[in-house]
Every structure is written in C-alpha cells, then in structure tokens.
Amino acid sequence: MCTLPKIEIQNYIFPKNLAMLTPFTDDYFMKKAFEEAEAAYEKGEIPVGVVVVINDRIIARGHNLTETLNDVTAHAEMQAITAAAGFLGGKYLHNCTMYITLEPCQMCAGALYWSQISKIVFGASDSTRGYRKFGVQLHPKTEVKSGVLENECGELLKRFFIEKRNLN
C-alpha cells in the first residue's frame, strides 16, 4: 500500500492575485445575458438579454417580452428587476450587478435608478434610444461599464433587424 506524505500548508502564502482565477468575469456574465438575448431572438422579440448577479451568483434573468406580452414596458431590464427584487425580498438591488446586452433606454435607466443597483455592465451602445443620449442620470452610487462583448451583442441586434426588414 502506498501512502502519501502529509502536507502542511499553514505557512503557505497564497498569491495575492488568487481572485483572478475565478471564472466569473464580466465576459462570463455577459455571455449568460447573451443567452437570454438569443432566447428573445428565437421568439421574434428584439434580442436584448439580462442577468442580475450578486456575489458571483445569478439571481435573475430576463429578455424582452414586449411582443409576447403586448406590453411596451416588458423590456428585459424590467423583467429582471422584478425577478431580482422578488428573489431578494425587497425593492432595492444593493450590491447587485446587471449585465445587459444593450445600453438601457431612458425608461429602464429610470427603473434602475430607483432600484439603486450598484453596477450596470452593458454590451452594445444604443445611439438612438440609449439613456446616455438623453442625459438621464443613474443613481450617483451606480457604477457603469460599457463595451463588454460589444461586437457579439451588436451583431445579434443587426441580424435581427435585417431579417425583420426583409420579412416586411
């Protein structure tokens, strides 16, 4: 019988960059949001997807349902805000990050303001209807990061609208 020597690790110094080993990056979570956008695309909805994350855990998902529900407010962000608040048991999304494949519109930016979400990460910019065009202010404590998987997110939207135009 072979026995392995006992290894003492109490004096081992862990590398300071150990956190860098986590697979949970902005790209990782944006890919999850992109999966939601693809689900919207398959339903004939504008392909925008969202995930809400707290402590590296997805607590809510959403995608556009405006056509399905015949409701102009059924944007992906609105679906995810409601689901996340339900999961957390309160209306505020403190310490949460929302990953969105497209820059939020001013309606969704307003809802995100009121939710007091900590961070928003989006993929493609929306120069036509994005909140930044209108100067909408987010909550002062909300961090915003743009351009994560921007090309992939933008290409899905372009493909959707090209196909939509060709059908009409």
Per the DSSP assignment, residues forming a β-bridge with 145 are 121
Q: What pLDDT shows up at residue 93?
A: 98
Task: Extract the runs of DSSP E, i.e. beta strands, from 78-118.
Answer: 97-102
Q: What is the pLDDT of residues 105-126, one digit of tens each?
A: 999 999 999 999 999 999 999 9
CA distances from 136 to 62, 110, 112 (A): 23, 8, 11
Choice between 130 and 159, residue whose per-residue pLDDT is larger: 159
Task: Tell whether 96 is in a known binding site.
Answer: no
Q: What is the pLDDT of residues 32-63, one digit of tens each?
A: 999 999 999 999 999 999 999 999 999 999 99
- H or E segment at 121? strand 119-124
Poorest-pLDDT segment among 19-33, 69-83, 104-118, 141-155: 19-33
The whole-model pTM stands at 0.84
Task: Tell whether 139 is in a known binding site.
Answer: no
Task: Tell whether 105 is in a known binding site.
Answer: yes
38 in active site: no
- Residue 98 CB burial class (10 angstroms; 0-12, 13-18, ≥19): buried
Catalytic residue among 36, 45, 77, 103: 77
pLDDT mean over 131-160: 90
Poorest-pLDDT segment among 48-52, 83-87, 104-108, 131-135: 131-135
Q: Three-state SS for 72?
A: coil
Q: Three-state SS for 86?
A: helix
Dist CA 153 CA 27 (whole Å): 12
Dist CA 34 CA 159 (whole Å): 14
Angle separating helix axes 26-42 and 150-167, nearest 10 degrees: 10
Domains, the chain, ordered by start: 26-167 (3.40.140.10)
Choice between 4 and 63, residue whose per-residue pLDDT is larger: 63
